[in-house]
Structure formats: C-alpha cells, structure tokens
Amino acid sequence: MKKKKSRDPGKDYAWFMRQPGNIARYAGQVVLLRHHTVLGSGADHRQAFEDARRRAEAENRELPQDDLIYFPVAEPGLFDRDTFGAIPRVVEET
C-alpha cells in the first residue's frame, strides 16, 4: 500500500501569513489550518480544535484528521525591530 504524501506545513503557514487581514483577525489566537483553509481558532490548541469541530458540524461535514497544523498568531508589533533586529521574510520555494 502506497503511503499518501503529506503536504508541507510551511507552505500553508506561508500562505496564511501572506493573506491580508489574517494577522489582525487572528492575533493572539492559535489557528488550526489545513490546505489553505482556517478550520478553527481559539485561545489555545484545544479551543481551536473545538471551534473547528463546531464549524464542521454546523456545515454538516467531517473534520479532516490529516495535514492539520496549529500555530499561534503573534500580536502585531510583538517582534519589533528594536528588540529583535531585522525581521526575516518568509520565502516560498517555487
């Protein structure tokens, strides 16, 4: 049996960070992301999962179990140049 190739979570993260408004909308939260889709969000990973579960239930669909990534979204300005120096850019491979 052939094993399904997993997606690169870095690409989903890079996509999320490039979308206008995502930082402001989800700042201070943990986001549950899969295949360029925000499935849920909350104060921690458990709340993000519960939000995703509720959304899936409301839309009468199953919550995917593979290729999920959780990550915290920092508040804007948290990593300021005075404290951390130049902020590196996320560059996606082509």
Residue 32, classified by CB atoms within 10 Å of its CB into exposed (0-12), middle (13-18) or buried (19+), is buried
Predicted confidence at residue 3, as pLDDT, reads 62
pTM of structure: 0.74
Does the residue 85 lie in any domain?
A: no
Predicted confidence at residue 44, as pLDDT, reads 97
Does the residue 2 lie in any domain?
A: no
Residue 44 structural domain? 9-74
Does the residue 91 lie in any domain?
A: no
Does the residue 48 lie in any domain?
A: yes
* DSSP category for residue 31: E
Evaluate if residue 87 carries a pLDDT over 60.
no
Q: Which residues of 39-70 are buried (b: 16+ CB within 10 A; e: fewer)?
A: bbbbeeeeebbebbeebeeeeeeebeeeebeb
Does the residue 84 lie in any domain?
A: no
- The residue type found at 11 is K
The tens digit of pLDDT for each residue in 9-55 reads 888 899 998 987 998 899 999 999 999 999 999 999 999 999 999 99
Give the SS3 label for residue 45.
helix
Question: What's the structural domain count of the chain?
Answer: 1
Which tokens go with 85?
A: 């120096």
